Amino acid sequence: MRLQLIQVAYLASSVLFIFSLYWMNHPRTARRGVFAGVAGMTLAILGTLLQPGISHWGLIGGAVALGFLVGIPLSWVPLTAVPQRTALSHAFGGLAAGLVGIAKYYLLLGEDPGHLTRFLMTAIVTEVILGFLTFTGSLMAAGKLQELRWIPQRPVTYPGQNAVNLALLGIAVLAGIGLILRPEELSYLFPVVIVLSLVFGVLLIIPIGGADMPTVISLLNSYAGLAAVAMGFVLDNKLLVIAGALDGSSGLILSIIMCKAMNRSFGNVLFGAFGQVQAKAAAGEAKIAKSETAEGAAQILEEASLVVIVPGYGMAVAQAQHRVRELYDQLTKRGVDVRFAIHPVAGRMPGHMNVLLAEADIPYEKLVEMDDMNPDMPQVDVVLVIGANDVVNPAARHDKASPIFGMPIIDADKARTCFAIKRSMNPGFAGIENELYFAEHTYMLFGDAKAVVGEIVKQLAGTGGH
């Protein structure tokens, strides 16, 4: 009876995990997807606790309590910190997988080395390598996103870096193969695999700039899922294999979508040091950006027929999404058609802008993907860029020397008038000037995005409409 209950719990968990991913595809069903995922994981844990032979309940209870103590405060982070919070989750997942691999190997090595078959050792080695490189890599990604002083946001590069990284990974893989073939005789190689995996995770992330963080986070998600798959084989747990496969495949698919959105390959993301500050040309006439006041911007906005808002990370930092909703309300009640152009890699994680705008109750149908919005850009009266930088830089279309050359962008420069809200003229993560800011029809609105949008809303409310 107990085994049947376990199988039913695992089957229900698998179904809930699949529906959770499916429902997360749309904001209207996303909340349902979250609850389905939580219910699935709860059933999975209860089913596992029903397994015969479970002992040390005190240790299990202590671990659960510790998980709650860490997890509950992490659920209270602001939306601007969700990317690094997500990276920490990947780190915990990778660490768990790595520790399970260590425990399983040394337990069998001491008690029953005959069970260390080549298949099981392959799963253990895979689990340890993926788990520990995900652990340190995710910690580094979280540190970059949090802008910790001792972890530089900009890429850290040195001559022969890629060769060193690949050599370390190659040595770890060769040591792992040795362990697979001779798990007892070559047991001294196991700590080598662990250390090299930890080091490789750090070295994998330090040459990657902030502009690639959305892709890196989804890729780390994929690694964590693959580590869970290996852990499922190690523990002979089919549910772990299913859940890990869902996690790993969804992360990989999302990474592919992100790379396509940037017109770049995985290799270029992982080894291209994108985000490195570019040297400025000494010659040439200094460019001058024109500025405008919130009052002037409000006057032009209320006379427009079609307005497109392009959100970026600056909007997230300023927590301006609710002011943006107020702006949306002021314009729509005047009969202005307001849309939001969403770039796939805007912000610090996949779907970052969608999450922020959903929090402010922006109608989802007003969020338009880049490819669908660009054909209409020449008919747009006003485009309002809020804290976005590289995703609207026209240099991506024509400057072959630019690090973002070839990256699809939102064609904000093709609108009749462009307002760009920024704190300063500092470059974005790609470390280059944005040509859009110096265009003839572009006007800068300098200041905190929340304050600037709030002032525009105030000006519009004062006019009382037409």
The pLDDT tens digits of the residues spanning 70-113 come to 888 888 887 777 888 888 999 999 999 999 999 999 999 999 99
Best-predicted range by mean pLDDT (182-196, 309-323, 401-415, 418-432): 182-196
Over 80: is that where the pLDDT of 271 sits?
Answer: no
More confident residue, 308 or 220: 308
What's the pTM value of the predicted model, to 2 decimals? Answer: 0.79
For 294-463, CATH number out of 3.30.70.100, 3.20.20.70, 3.90.79.10, 3.40.50.1220 equals: 3.40.50.1220
Residue pair 87/76 in contact by the 8 Å Cβ criterion: no
Q: What is the pLDDT of residue 210?
A: 62
Which are the contacts of 145, defined by CB distance < 8 A and separation ≥ 6? Answer: 83, 84, 87, 210, 213, 348
Contacts 24+ apart (CB under 8 A), 408-412: 408/261, 408/262, 408/263, 408/370, 408/371, 409/343, 409/370, 410/310, 410/341, 410/343, 410/370, 410/373, 410/374, 410/377, 411/374, 411/377, 412/308, 412/310, 412/341, 412/377, 412/383, 412/385, 412/436
Tokens, residue 185: 């005789």
pLDDT in tens, 139-191: 998 888 887 777 776 778 788 888 898 899 999 999 999 999 999 999 999 99
pLDDT tens digits, 272-325: 554 444 444 434 455 788 999 999 999 999 999 999 999 998 898 888 999 999
In whole angstroms, give the CA distance from residue 114 to residue 408: 55
The reply to whether 390 belongs to the active site is: yes
Q: Which entry of 390, 399, 411, 448 is annotated as an active-site residue?
A: 390
Q: DSSP state, 291?
A: B
Q: Where are the domains of the chain?
A: 1-76, 81-271, 294-463
The per-residue pLDDT for 266 is 67
What are the residues whose beta carbons fall under 8 Å from the beta carbon of 456, sequence distance 6 or more?
A: 294, 297, 298, 301, 327
Mean pLDDT of the chain: 88
pLDDT of residue 328 exceeding 50: yes
Q: What's the pLDDT at 275?
A: 46
Predicted confidence at residue 278, as pLDDT, reads 46
34-60 tens-digit pLDDT: 999 999 999 999 999 988 888 889 999
Confidence at residue 329, expressed as pLDDT on a 0 to 100 scale: 95
Cα–Cα distances in Å, from 157 out to 138, 172, 203, 270, 342?
19, 22, 10, 12, 31
